[in-house]
Amino acid sequence: MANVVVVGAQWGDEGKGKIVDWLSERADVVVRFQGGHNAGHTLVIDGKVFKLSLLPSGIVRPGKLSVIGNGVVVDPWALCGEIERLRGQGVEISRDNLRVAENAVLILPLHSELDGIREEAAGKGAIGTTRRGIGPAYEDKVGRRAIRVMDLERVEELEGKIARLLSHHNALRRGLGAPEVDPQALHDELCAVAPKVLPYADSVWMLLDEHRRAGSRILFEGAQGALLDIDHGTYPYVTSSNVVAGQAATGSGLGPGAIGYVLGIVKAYTTRVGAGPFPTEQLNEVGQRLGERGHEFGTVTGRKRRCGWFDAALVRQTVKTSGINGIALTKLDVLDGFEELKLCVGYRLDGKRIDHLPASEAAQARVEPIYETVEGWSQSTQGARSWADLPAQAVKYVRHIEELIECPVALLSTSPERDDTILMTDPFED
């Protein structure tokens, strides 16, 4: 029996939320291990839509424990807001089904402000972040001046921690022409939010170790996608955390041996939100059609997602950087009705053929995709729940993707609805 890690294998928004929700029926514990409320995971259950940013997607199933691991950056106000919003939708949330790592770093208002100030100042060079303060919060974590969940408990020590943090931030803010942050005001804000967050605080490494020894099934829920990984993504157009599957161990306090199966979530075409290279982007009616049929608007910021053909070269690469054992291919239905489909199988760079994305920003901007064209299908695959319901050309497309990315398809998704999912290999049993 394996614990399963679900990670995005493109630039995010591959449908991780839907698949984690579907798989969580087979799990006992669902753990977020990186990122923050830059994530937007959408679940559709019997027509009811749930949008999650910080809470693990297991939260909607009664009897499952949801855990926010130490690798996540937690905005306590966003967390409280999301808990209230979900309660309003009838989801019960208490310490019985939600824990937050005591050693997780907090995102403060000064982080989201700084994120916004930098993006504005960068003009055309902006990353296109979600402006949620993710990058600045991770900077403070590695700068060893962050305020963590557990610090909310020891108010007498908070003053010194705030002073240390603000000696850095107020110097920075003076340089940027932003007003300084008042230490007392920040202290008051933290003291006000503390009693709402502390009931969920826990030693997550210890909790997960207990669950592991008791034989619980643990499902790790990644945010973003491998191409947004701080090391392995399209730097600098990336997020500020490690997104690849290895982070599931570091970001939760379990060893790498706790990870059994890595499921990569892959969209049947490609999308990206924000700036940065995107070799198969279609700035034409193809991209427009994918965006319309796929409802490609960001869950968090509402921004229009950039759309393009499936890039097998990229996914072949992320299968390796995340150690993916099988993929869940999502949004196949969005391709219904295309007469022909294109798949990128490699690139041309300065006249030479290469089979992977080069590491440098300049080369990434220069690569030209090499396409294979395949036949599309006119029948609908939307809502298909068995392999036999798929038209022959759709089956061929899926099989061809498997060959090109050198990895099998374990699950197939044919609509936003939880149960419109076809299982080929059970990741928990493989």
* Cβ neighbours around 374 below 10 Å, total: 15
Among 13, 75, 140, 333, which one carries the catalytic annotation?
13
CB of 107 to ligand GDP, least distance (A): 19
Out of 130, 234, 270, 318, the residue judged to bind ligand IMO by CB under 6 A: 130
Q: In what order do the strands lie in the sheet with 201-202?
A: 201-202, 98-101, 65-68, 29-32, 218-221, 4-8, 261-267, 326-330, 409-413, 421-423
Which residues have CB under 8 Å from 219's CB, separation 6+?
3, 4, 6, 20, 23, 24, 26, 27, 29, 30, 31, 58
Contact predicate 392/399, CB 8 Å:
no
3-state secondary structure at position 221? strand
Out of 70, 97, 239, 282, the residue judged to bind ligand IMO by CB under 6 A: 239
Decide if residue 38 touches ligand IMO (CB under 6 A): yes
In this complex, which beta carbon is closest to ligand IMO, that of residue 128 or of residue 277? 128
Q: Which two tokens stand for residue 127?
A: 């990353």
Place of tokens 């969005």: 334
Q: Which of residues 286-325 bind ligand GDP (CB under 6 A)?
A: 299
Decide if residue 35 touches Mg ion (CB under 5 A): no
Among 37, 41, 111, 211, which one carries the catalytic annotation?
41
132 interface partner picked from Mg ion, ligand GDP, ligand IMO, none, CB below 5 to 8 A per type: ligand IMO
Question: Is position 419 annotated as part of the catalytic site?
Answer: no
Decide if residue 411 touches ligand IMO (CB under 6 A): no
Question: Which residue intervals of 214-328 are DSSP H helices?
Answer: 247-250, 285-293, 312-321
Out of 29, 30, 52, 134, the residue judged to bind ligand IMO by CB under 6 A: 134
Phi, psi (5° rounding) for residue 95?
A: -60, -20
Out of 2, 44, 93, 181, the residue judged to bind ligand GDP by CB under 6 A: 44
Out of 35, 40, 253, 369, the residue judged to bind Mg ion by CB under 5 A: 40
Question: Is position 41 annotated as part of the catalytic site?
Answer: yes
User: Do the strands 340-349 and 352-354 form a parallel or antiparallel pair, or are they unpaired?
Assistant: antiparallel
CB of 15 to ligand IMO, least distance (A): 9
Out of 416, 418, 422, 427, the residue judged to bind ligand GDP by CB under 6 A: 416
Decide if residue 13 touches Mg ion (CB under 5 A): yes
Contact predicate 158/166, CB 8 Å:
no
Decide if residue 75 touches ligand GDP (CB under 6 A): no
